[in-house]
Structure formats: structure tokens, C-alpha cells
Structure 1
Amino acid sequence: MIKNSWVLGALFLVLTSCSLSKEVRQQRDTINGTWVLNDVSYEGEQGDYKAKLFNDADAYCFEGSTWYFLENNSTGNYNINSSTGACPSGVRNIRWSVVENEAGADRLQFKYIDEKKKDINGRTGYGMDIVSLSSASMTLKSNVNVNGSPIAVVYTFNKQ
């Protein structure tokens, strides 16, 4: 009887330690759907910046891009539309998640996948802090260093 109780207790701990917190589940549910990235801006050291985001395209190419997040299988994509040809158009498939970091802040992270949902770049991915999130808008921020000075890239989305 004691052995069975110990096994059930260990199983309970494993199952609960792998589950998502209520807050993370709510955020995933809110993020689920289609979003438009309306603005990419910078905070921190003053200056003009040319940034290549997510090892993909220049920041201005992402303005107006459409992002789709499917909560039930943690996949989605983003689509860059370029009428000028200056930006690499097309759909990029992603696997995404919301995680809570050591400081208690929530982050949206993603990595590239192929059509068969296999990782393209191994374990390489990208993460952004969730600054604000509602059913209509989302603001994300990623921190980088430029010449030793901290700069934040701010992404402002509206839900479609």
C-alpha cells in the first residue's frame, strides 16, 4: 500500500510539473489567431538603426506582416508581403510557445519549422518579452546590445 502511494505521488509530481500555469494557458488562448504587426520601433540609445529581425529580413519588412498562431498544436506562421520586391516575401512556418522566465516575466518564443513541422535550424529560436496582451492588441519586446548599449526592439500587433 505504501509503495503504491509513493508511485502515485511521484506520478502526480511529474504530471503537475510539466503542466502550464493558468496564466500561460490564458495567454496562449489570447494569442491564438491572426495578428498584424503594425509597428517595429526602438527604445534606448538614440539613433537610426537598421535591424535584421529573426535572422530573416530588415525590420521595416515586418511592418504589415501577418502572424498566425494556432494554440492547439503550437504551430503557426508569419507572412511578409512585399510589393516593392525589396523584402523577401512569403510565409515562414513556426512552432511557438509562451514560457515564464526565472524572473517571472512571460515570453513568446518561436523557431522555424518546415512543412512537415520539423525544426529547420536545430535548437535555434527567438524570444520576446510580453509587455502587454489583450484580445485586441499585443506588444512584445526583445532586448539587444548595440555597441555596448542596451536597445529594445518593440513589436506592436493588432488582432484581426
Structure 2
Amino acid sequence: MLKKSLILILFGIFLASCGVSKEVRDQRNMLSGTWILNDVRYENNQGMFKSVLFNDADAICFEGSNWFFRDNNSTGRYTIQQGSLCQGGDRYIRWSVVSNPANYTNQLQFKFIDEKRNDVSGGLGYRLNIARLTESEMTLKSNVTVDAKPVTLVYEFTKQ
């Protein structure tokens, strides 16, 4: 009897440790909704940069893009406006918030899916550090290397 009770207690502790933290749940809830990506800028390095974000479009195309996150099924999309430099349209994603114990921050991760929610990226995706998240503003950051020097891409959003 004591052995069975001990096993049940250990199993309960194991299950509780597998759950997401309250902070991650809160951030998922705050992310839910529609966001506008107002600005993409670069930190930690000087110079002019031209970058293709998420293997999709030039950074300039993302400014003013509309991002939608649905937290009840972890799907969403971002929409780029059509322009002379930009292939407009919807890009569908599956997203989540994950803890990153290496730098004590949480990250937004996403991968591309099709309209039927099937993976179209072979399981590959993207992670952005959540630098700031409130009910109305969000700052995401990603670290890249340009000519062997670190550059941080900063994404500034406001909630609609």
C-alpha cells in the first residue's frame, strides 16, 4: 500500500512538472488577438542591412503587417500587404510560447502550416525572444550573425 501511494505521488509530481508555467500561460493569453508589426530594426551593429525575414520577404515588407494569434488551437497567420517589393497575402502558422532556461526568457516559436493546418516547413520553425509583452505592446528579438558579428533584429508590435 505504501509503495503504491509513493508511486502515485511521484507520478503526480512528474505530471505537474511537465505542465507549462503560469508565466507561459499568461503570455499565451496576452498574445491572443491581432497585432500590427510597426517596426523592424537592428541593434548591436552599425551599417545598412537588407534582410529576408523567416525565409519569406524583405524586412521592409513586414512593417505594417497584420499578425493574428488564436490561443485555443495555437494557430494564426500574418498578412503582408502587396507592394512593388512585397508578395502580399496570408501566411498561416502554428505557434506556441516556450521557456528558454538558457537565458531565462520565454520565446515565441512558430512554423508554417497550410490552410488545412498541415505542416509545410518540414518541422522547421523560428524562435523569437519575448523581450517585452503587455496587453497593448510587444517586443520580440532574434539574434543573427552578419559577417561574423552579432546583430539583434527587434520587432515592435502594438495590439489592435
Structure 2 length as normaliser, TM-score? 0.94
Cα distance per residue 1:83-128 (max 9 Å; x no partner):
x332111111101111111232111111001122121112211011
Distance 1:40 1:9 in 2: 49
Distance 1:81 1:4 in 2: 60
Alignment partner, residue 31 of structure 2: 31
Q: Which SS does the other structure have where 1:130 is aligned?
A: strand
Q: Which SS does the other structure have where 1:24 is aligned?
A: helix
Structure 1 residue 9: deviation in Å?
2.2
Alignment partner, residue 20 of structure 2: 20
Structure 1 residue 6: deviation in Å?
3.5
Alignment partner, residue 157 of structure 1: 157
| Correspondences of 1:107-126 after superposition (within 5 Å) | 107-126=107-126
Structure 1 residue 2: deviation in Å?
2.7
Q: Which SS does the other structure have where 1:5 is aligned?
A: helix
Structure 1 residue 32: deviation in Å?
0.6
Distance 1:65 1:133 in 2: 18
Alignment partner, residue 142 of structure 2: 142
Alignment partner, residue 41 of structure 2: 41
Shift in CA distance, 11/115, structure 1 to aligned 2, threshold 3 Å: farther
Structure 1 residue 10: deviation in Å?
3.8
Distance 1:116 1:9 in 2: 41
Provide the alpha-carbon RMSD of the alignment: 1.2
Distance 1:9 1:122 in 2: 39
Alignment partner, residue 76 of structure 1: 76
Structure 1 length as normaliser, TM-score? 0.94
Structure 1 residue 137: deviation in Å?
0.5
Structure 1 residue ranges without an equivalent (≥5): none
Alignment partner, residue 95 of structure 2: 96
Identity %: 53
Distance 1:14 1:85 in 2: 54
Distance 1:85 1:74 in 2: 32
Structure 1 residue 53: deviation in Å?
0.2
Specify the code of the residue in structure 1 equivalent to 2:11.
L
Distance 2:90 2:158 in 1: 19
